[in-house]
Protein backbone atom coordinates (compact mmCIF):
# COMPACT_ATOMS: atom_id res chain seq x y z
CA UNK A 1 0.00 0.00 0.00
CA UNK A 2 1.00 3.59 -0.51
CA UNK A 3 -0.36 7.09 -0.01
CA UNK A 4 0.75 10.48 -1.19
CA UNK A 5 0.68 13.06 -3.89
CA UNK A 6 2.17 13.91 -7.23
CA UNK A 7 1.27 15.33 -10.60
CA UNK A 8 1.07 14.56 -14.28
CA UNK A 9 2.35 17.22 -16.60
CA UNK A 10 1.12 19.88 -14.27
CA UNK A 11 -1.13 17.75 -11.95
CA UNK A 12 -1.02 15.98 -8.53
CA UNK A 13 -2.65 13.35 -6.28
CA UNK A 14 -2.50 10.78 -3.25
CA UNK A 15 -1.20 7.11 -2.38
CA UNK A 16 -1.47 3.79 0.18
CA UNK A 17 -0.22 2.35 3.72
CA UNK A 18 3.42 1.10 3.76
CA UNK A 19 4.34 3.85 1.28
CA UNK A 20 2.34 6.34 3.16
CA UNK A 21 4.28 5.48 6.24
CA UNK A 22 7.59 5.74 4.40
CA UNK A 23 6.82 9.12 2.92
CA UNK A 24 5.25 10.49 6.10
CA UNK A 25 8.29 9.45 8.10
CA UNK A 26 10.43 11.20 5.52
CA UNK A 27 8.35 14.33 5.89
CA UNK A 28 9.20 14.52 9.58
CA UNK A 29 12.99 14.47 9.42
CA UNK A 30 13.66 18.03 8.29
CA UNK A 31 15.55 19.95 10.99
CA UNK A 32 14.09 23.36 10.11
CA UNK A 33 10.88 23.73 8.10
CA UNK A 34 10.15 27.40 8.83
CA UNK A 35 11.22 28.44 5.33
CA UNK A 36 8.24 26.59 3.90
CA UNK A 37 5.55 27.67 6.36
CA UNK A 38 2.88 29.67 4.59
CA UNK A 39 2.47 31.75 7.72
CA UNK A 40 4.71 31.84 10.77
CA UNK A 41 1.66 31.45 13.03
CA UNK A 42 0.31 28.43 11.13
CA UNK A 43 1.15 25.24 13.06
CA UNK A 44 -0.07 23.09 10.12
CA UNK A 45 1.95 24.62 7.25
CA UNK A 46 1.88 21.61 4.90
CA UNK A 47 -1.85 20.99 4.86
CA UNK A 48 -3.49 17.61 5.44
CA UNK A 49 -3.65 14.33 3.53
CA UNK A 50 -5.25 10.90 3.69
CA UNK A 51 -4.77 7.52 2.11
CA UNK A 52 -4.47 3.73 2.36
CA UNK A 53 -8.20 3.17 2.78
CA UNK A 54 -9.89 -0.03 3.84
CA UNK A 55 -13.61 -0.66 4.11
CA UNK A 56 -13.65 0.37 7.77
CA UNK A 57 -10.59 2.61 8.18
CA UNK A 58 -8.30 5.19 6.60
CA UNK A 59 -5.09 7.03 7.46
CA UNK A 60 -5.16 10.81 8.02
CA UNK A 61 -2.02 12.96 8.25
CA UNK A 62 -0.72 16.42 8.98
CA UNK A 63 2.56 17.99 10.03
CA UNK A 64 2.50 20.00 13.25
CA UNK A 65 5.05 22.76 13.80
CA UNK A 66 4.89 25.16 16.72
CA UNK A 67 8.54 25.75 17.59
CA UNK A 68 8.34 24.48 21.17
CA UNK A 69 10.66 21.73 22.55
CA UNK A 70 7.96 20.31 24.86
CA UNK A 71 5.27 17.74 24.22
CA UNK A 72 2.12 19.11 22.58
CA UNK A 73 -1.35 17.59 22.21
CA UNK A 74 -2.97 17.87 18.79
CA UNK A 75 -6.69 17.11 18.55
CA UNK A 76 -8.11 15.29 15.54
CA UNK A 77 -11.70 14.93 14.41
CA UNK A 78 -13.54 12.92 11.77
CA UNK A 79 -17.14 13.75 10.84
CA UNK A 80 -19.79 12.84 8.31
CA UNK A 81 -20.17 16.48 7.22
CA UNK A 82 -17.80 19.38 6.49
CA UNK A 83 -19.26 21.51 9.31
CA UNK A 84 -18.49 18.74 11.84
CA UNK A 85 -22.03 18.71 13.19
CA UNK A 86 -22.10 14.91 12.76
CA UNK A 87 -18.98 13.69 14.61
CA UNK A 88 -17.81 10.14 13.96
CA UNK A 89 -14.40 9.78 15.66
CA UNK A 90 -12.03 12.04 17.57
CA UNK A 91 -8.93 11.82 19.68
CA UNK A 92 -5.67 13.35 20.80
CA UNK A 93 -2.19 12.78 19.39
CA UNK A 94 0.86 13.68 21.46
CA UNK A 95 3.67 15.24 19.46
CA UNK A 96 6.97 14.60 21.19
CA UNK A 97 10.32 16.33 20.64
CA UNK A 98 12.85 14.30 18.69
CA UNK A 99 13.64 12.89 15.28
CA UNK A 100 10.03 12.45 14.21
CA UNK A 101 8.74 15.58 15.88
CA UNK A 102 5.80 17.06 14.01
CA UNK A 103 4.37 13.96 12.35
CA UNK A 104 0.68 13.41 13.16
CA UNK A 105 -0.53 10.14 11.64
CA UNK A 106 -3.85 8.63 12.71
CA UNK A 107 -5.30 5.26 11.70
CA UNK A 108 -9.01 6.03 11.98
CA UNK A 109 -11.12 2.88 12.50
CA UNK A 110 -14.80 2.04 12.90
CA UNK A 111 -15.89 3.70 9.64
CA UNK A 112 -18.52 2.71 7.08
CA UNK A 113 -17.52 1.32 3.69
CA UNK A 114 -17.38 3.46 0.53
CA UNK A 115 -18.28 6.62 2.44
CA UNK A 116 -17.01 10.19 2.37
CA UNK A 117 -15.65 11.60 5.63
CA UNK A 118 -14.23 14.96 6.65
CA UNK A 119 -11.32 15.45 9.02
CA UNK A 120 -9.29 18.21 10.65
CA UNK A 121 -6.67 18.87 13.32
CA UNK A 122 -6.64 21.54 16.02
CA UNK A 123 -4.12 22.92 18.48
CA UNK A 124 -4.97 25.78 20.84
CA UNK A 125 -6.86 28.32 18.70
CA UNK A 126 -5.54 26.99 15.39
CA UNK A 127 -7.35 24.62 13.04
CA UNK A 128 -5.89 22.88 10.01
CA UNK A 129 -7.47 22.76 6.59
CA UNK A 130 -10.54 20.53 6.48
CA UNK A 131 -9.74 17.39 4.51
CA UNK A 132 -12.08 14.98 2.75
CA UNK A 133 -11.43 11.26 2.39
CA UNK A 134 -13.30 8.13 1.38
CA UNK A 135 -13.21 4.56 2.62
CA UNK A 136 -12.88 1.60 0.28
CA UNK A 137 -15.85 -0.52 -0.83
CA UNK A 138 -16.61 -3.69 1.09
CA UNK A 139 -15.94 -6.76 -1.03
CA UNK A 140 -15.93 -6.69 -4.82
CA UNK A 141 -16.55 -3.40 -6.62
CA UNK A 142 -17.77 -3.23 -10.21
CA UNK A 143 -16.85 0.40 -10.89
CA UNK A 144 -14.19 2.83 -9.66
CA UNK A 145 -13.14 6.15 -11.14
CA UNK A 146 -9.42 6.84 -10.75
CA UNK A 147 -7.28 9.83 -11.67
CA UNK A 148 -3.64 9.24 -12.59
CA UNK A 149 -0.79 11.70 -12.07
CA UNK A 150 3.00 11.51 -12.39
CA UNK A 151 6.27 13.36 -12.98
CA UNK A 152 5.78 16.50 -10.91
CA UNK A 153 8.93 18.47 -11.58
CA UNK A 154 8.56 21.56 -9.38
CA UNK A 155 10.76 23.70 -11.62
CA UNK A 156 9.04 22.75 -14.88
CA UNK A 157 5.68 24.38 -14.24
CA UNK A 158 2.73 25.00 -11.98
CA UNK A 159 0.48 22.34 -10.48
CA UNK A 160 -2.75 23.65 -12.01
CA UNK A 161 -3.89 20.07 -12.69
CA UNK A 162 -3.94 19.51 -8.94
CA UNK A 163 -6.26 22.48 -8.59
CA UNK A 164 -8.48 20.93 -11.27
CA UNK A 165 -8.59 17.62 -9.42
CA UNK A 166 -9.45 19.38 -6.18
CA UNK A 167 -12.69 20.51 -7.79
CA UNK A 168 -13.81 17.01 -8.82
CA UNK A 169 -16.39 15.12 -6.74
CA UNK A 170 -16.61 12.01 -8.93
CA UNK A 171 -13.14 10.51 -8.31
CA UNK A 172 -12.63 7.57 -5.95
CA UNK A 173 -8.87 7.97 -5.67
CA UNK A 174 -5.87 9.61 -7.30
CA UNK A 175 -2.95 7.34 -8.21
CA UNK A 176 0.48 8.95 -8.27
CA UNK A 177 2.86 6.88 -10.38
CA UNK A 178 6.00 8.94 -9.60
CA UNK A 179 8.21 10.86 -9.60
CA UNK A 180 7.13 12.81 -6.52
CA UNK A 181 10.29 14.91 -6.41
CA UNK A 182 13.23 15.47 -8.76
CA UNK A 183 16.77 15.18 -7.43
CA UNK A 184 18.53 17.30 -10.08
CA UNK A 185 20.22 20.63 -9.36
CA UNK A 186 18.27 23.73 -10.25
CA UNK A 187 18.13 24.40 -14.00
CA UNK A 188 19.44 20.96 -14.98
CA UNK A 189 16.22 19.31 -16.14
CA UNK A 190 13.12 21.02 -17.50
CA UNK A 191 12.28 24.65 -18.14
CA UNK A 192 12.96 26.63 -14.97
CA UNK A 193 11.99 30.02 -16.45
CA UNK A 194 8.95 30.12 -14.14
CA UNK A 195 11.22 31.11 -11.28
CA UNK A 196 10.30 28.01 -9.27
CA UNK A 197 13.88 27.13 -8.31
CA UNK A 198 14.64 23.90 -6.54
CA UNK A 199 15.75 24.05 -2.93
CA UNK A 200 18.51 23.29 -2.31
CA UNK A 201 19.92 24.52 -5.62
CA UNK A 202 22.44 21.67 -5.85
CA UNK A 203 21.71 18.01 -6.58
CA UNK A 204 20.21 16.49 -3.47
CA UNK A 205 22.39 13.85 -1.79
CA UNK A 206 22.03 13.95 2.00
CA UNK A 207 18.99 13.17 4.15
CA UNK A 208 18.66 16.86 4.92
CA UNK A 209 18.75 17.70 1.19
CA UNK A 210 15.95 15.24 0.52
CA UNK A 211 13.79 16.48 3.36
CA UNK A 212 14.09 20.11 2.26
CA UNK A 213 13.20 19.15 -1.30
CA UNK A 214 10.18 17.15 -0.14
CA UNK A 215 8.95 20.03 1.98
CA UNK A 216 9.37 22.49 -0.87
CA UNK A 217 7.09 20.34 -3.01
CA UNK A 218 4.59 19.89 -0.16
CA UNK A 219 4.38 23.65 0.37
CA UNK A 220 2.71 24.12 -3.03
CA UNK A 221 -0.88 25.35 -2.41
CA UNK A 222 -2.38 23.55 -5.42
CA UNK A 223 -0.86 20.24 -4.39
CA UNK A 224 -2.26 20.84 -0.90
CA UNK A 225 -5.70 21.63 -2.33
CA UNK A 226 -5.78 18.28 -4.13
CA UNK A 227 -4.76 16.36 -1.03
CA UNK A 228 -7.44 18.15 0.96
CA UNK A 229 -10.20 17.00 -1.42
CA UNK A 230 -8.91 13.72 -2.82
CA UNK A 231 -7.41 10.53 -1.48
CA UNK A 232 -3.91 10.22 -2.92
CA UNK A 233 -2.43 6.77 -3.39
CA UNK A 234 1.27 6.58 -4.15
CA UNK A 235 2.72 3.76 -6.23
CA UNK A 236 6.35 4.71 -5.63
CA UNK A 237 8.58 3.82 -2.69
CA UNK A 238 9.96 7.02 -1.21
CA UNK A 239 13.43 6.86 0.40
CA UNK A 240 13.71 8.09 3.98
pLDDT at res. 103:
85
| Sheet of 103-108, strands arranged across | 48-51, 58-63, 103-108
Q: What is the pLDDT of residue 143?
A: 87
- What's the sign of the alpha-carbon dihedral 196, 173, 78, 163? positive
Q: Please report, rounded to a whole number, the percentage of residues in the chain having pLDDT higher than 90.
A: 50
Mean pLDDT of the chain: 80
Contact predicate 197/10, CB 8 Å: no
| SS3 labels along 75-132 | EEEEECCCCCCCEEEEEEEEECCCCCCCEEEEEECCCCCCCEEEEEEEECCEECCCEE
- CA pair distance 58, 30, nearest whole angstrom: 25
CA dist 240 and 238 (Å) reads 6
Q: What is the pLDDT of residue 40?
A: 52
Write down the pLDDT at residue 230: 83
CA distances from 232 to 37, 143, 170, 191 (A): 22, 18, 14, 26
**Predicted local distance difference test score (pLDDT) of residue 153:** 94
pLDDT digits (tens, 9 = 90+) for 28-55: 333 344 444 444 578 998 889 998 999 9
pLDDT at 222: 93
Give 90-117 pLDDT, tens digit per residue. 999 999 876 456 889 999 999 999 999 9
Give the model confidence (pLDDT) of 170-223 as tens digits: 888 888 998 999 999 999 987 778 889 999 999 999 988 998 898 899 899 999
The SS3 assignment for 149 reads strand
Rounded to whole angstroms, how far apart are CA atoms 177 and 22?
Answer: 16
Amino acid sequence: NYFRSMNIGYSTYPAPRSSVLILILALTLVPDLNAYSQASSNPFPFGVASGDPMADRVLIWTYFQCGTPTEQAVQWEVAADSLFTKPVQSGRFTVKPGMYSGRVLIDVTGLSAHTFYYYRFTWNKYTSLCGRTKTAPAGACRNLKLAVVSCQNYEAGYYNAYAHLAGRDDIDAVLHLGDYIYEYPSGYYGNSSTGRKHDPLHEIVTDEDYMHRYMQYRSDPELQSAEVRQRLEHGEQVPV
